[in-house]
Structure 1
C-alpha cells in the first residue's frame, strides 16, 4: 500500500496540483490586498469617500455597546446578523481581477501551445509511411 501511495504522490499531476494550490493561495492574498488596500480606497475616493466595507444593513438587534457602530467586522464578531453588500462588492471585484488574470494566462498558454492539427501535421515520416503501407494493404485485401 505504501508503494502505491508513493507512486500516486510521485505522479506529475498531483505535484502540479499541490504547487498550483499553494501558488493560488498566495496569489489570492495578493489580489485581496490589491483590492482592499489599493483599488477599493481609490474607487471610494473617486465616488466621494465611500468605504465599501462599512456598507451593510443590520438584520437583527445591535448590542448596546456597539450602538451606532459602522464597524462591520466588530458587529459581525458580536453575532449581529448583517446583510454585508459592501463586503460582497469587494469580493466581486476580487473575483473579477482573478478571473481576468486567469483569462490572460490561459490565452497566453493557448497561443504558445500547438494546435491539435499542427501536432498531427508534425508527424514523423516513418509513421506516415507506415500509415500509407497499412492503407495499401487494406485496399489489396478488400479487392
Structure 2
C-alpha cells in the first residue's frame, strides 16, 4: 500500500497540482491585500468616503457588557452579534472578481501558447526520410 501511495505522489500531475495549490494560496493573499488595502479605499473615496466595512445590518441584540462601538463590524462580530455583513460581502465579491479575472488571463495565455505549439507541430515538417535519402543518394552519384 505504501508503494502505491509513493507511486501516486511521485506522478508529475500530483506534484504540479500541489505546487499550483500553494501558489494559488499565496496569490489569494496578494489579491485580498490588493482588494482591502488599495481598491476598496479608492472605491470608498469615490463614493464620498464610505467605509464598506461599516455596511452591515445587525440582526441580534448586543450582548450585556459590550463596550465597543456599535458601528464597528469586526468588534460586533467578535462579540457574537448576529449580522449581515453587506460591506464584507462586497469586498469578498470584488476579491473574487479580481482573482477570477487574473485566472482567466492566465488560462487565456496558456491556451494561446498551446495553440502556437500545436501550430508549430503541424507546420511543414520538411522533407521526409525517403526524400532526404534520395538527396543523399543523388549527391553521392554526382561525386
TM (norm. structure 1) is 0.79
Indicate the larger mover: 60-69 or 91-100: 60-69
Q: Structure 2: which 5+ runs fail to align?
A: 130-143
The aligned residue for residue 137 of structure 1 is none
Give distance in 2, aligned partners of 1:81 and 1:35: 25
- Count of aligned pairs: 126
The aligned residue for residue 16 of structure 2 is 16
**Is 1:74 aligned to 2:88, yes or no?**
no
Q: Structure 1: which 5+ runs fail to align?
A: 127-143
TM (norm. structure 2) is 0.79
Secondary structure of the equivalent of 1:50?
A: coil
RMSD between aligned residues:
2.3
C-alpha contact 1:35 1:90 (8 A) present in aligned 2: yes
Shift of 1:73: 1.1
Give distance in 2, aligned partners of 1:24 and 1:63: 39
Shift of 1:54: 1.1
